């Protein structure tokens, strides 16, 4: 009997929810779900209503009024929390670990490379002229020196990553 009641009421509920949704500022599907829930709670506690279609119409209007009241009080998010693009704690920890590995590898580079790479990675964002002045080398030799140091750093980091992956 309950299944027949739900099957019989489905078209009426759909029509009533569609008619009420616009005025209540909600989606028809949301109203339908709320009324289905209310009906199931009613069936569990009191049994079927004596006039199911009248009860359904009243329930849709009640849910519409409730939706209008809450719609006026609720404030939307500026953006969806799921759309937050800021890195979470896991990403921050992984990023810090990667930076630490790079800084450690830079310190182990040979010759002038540690000082050159530290100057290039400096938060002060130094120009080539400023870096050359700090290191006491010509500005024209910075490019080749930087390429050589980056190649050495790349080989060091590749070897470390490969050995870490091999151990599993």
User: What is the rounded CA–CA span in Å between residue 42 and residue 50?
Assistant: 12
Does residue 108 lie within any of the structural domains?
Answer: yes
Does 103 lie in the same domain as 55?
Answer: no
Burial zone of 115 (CB within 10 Å; 0-12 exposed, 13-18 middle, 19+ buried): middle
Q: Are residues 122 and 158 in the same domain?
A: yes
pLDDT-derived band at 26 (thresholds 50, 70, 90) equals confident
Count of CA atoms in the C-beta half-sphere (13 A) of 12? 16
The answer, yes or no, to whether residue 1 has pLDDT greater than 70, is: no
Q: Which residue has the higher pLDDT, 59 or 159?
A: 59
Mean pLDDT confidence for 38-62: 90
91 within some domain:
no
The reply to whether 87 falls in a domain is: no
pLDDT (tens digit per residue) in 116-125? 998 988 888 8
pLDDT at 168 over 60: no
Report the pLDDT averaged over residues 18-42.
Answer: 87
Whether residue 105 is contained in a domain is answered as yes
CA distance linking residue 161 with residue 153, whole number of Å: 12
The residue range of the domain holding 106 is 99-167
Interval 77-129: pLDDT, tens = 666 666 667 888 898 999 999 889 888 999 999 999 999 998 988 888 889 99
Looking at the structure, tell me whether residues 122 and 61 fall in a common domain: no
* Confidence category of residue 159, pLDDT binned at 50, 70, 90: confident
CATH number of the domain that 132 lies in? 1.10.10.10
Q: Looking at the structure, do residues 17 and 57 belong to the same domain, yes or no?
A: yes
Query: Is 139 a residue whose pLDDT tops 60?
Result: yes
Comparing 21-35, 51-65, 77-91, the range with the smallest average pLDDT is 77-91
Residue after which a domain boundary falls, among 73, 108, 125: 73
The larger pLDDT score, comparing residue 128 to residue 160, is at 128
**66, 9: one domain:** yes
| Sequence-distant (≥ 6) Cβ neighbours of residue 37 within 8 angstroms | none
């Amino acid at each position: 009997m309950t299944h027949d009641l739900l099957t019989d009421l489905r078209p009426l509920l759909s029509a009533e929810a569609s008619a009420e949704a616009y005025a209540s500022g909600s989606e028809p599907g949301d109203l339908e779900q709320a009324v289905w829930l209310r009906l199931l709670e009613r069936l569990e506690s009191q049994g079927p209503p004596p006039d199911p279609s009248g009860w359904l119409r009243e329930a849709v209007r009640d849910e519409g009024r409730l939706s209008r009241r809450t719609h006026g009080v609720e404030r939307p998010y500026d953006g969806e929390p799921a759309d937050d693009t800021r890195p979470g704690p896991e990403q921050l920890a992984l990023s810090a670990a990667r930076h630490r590995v790079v800084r450690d590898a830079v310190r182990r580079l040979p010759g002038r490379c540690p000082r050159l790479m530290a100057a290039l990675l400096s938060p002060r964002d130094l120009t080539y002229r400023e870096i050359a002045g700090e290191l006491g080398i010509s500005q024209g030799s910075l490019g080749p020196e930087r390429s050589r140091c980056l190649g050495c750093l790349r080989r060091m980091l590749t070897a470390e990553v490969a050995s870490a992956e091999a151990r599993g």
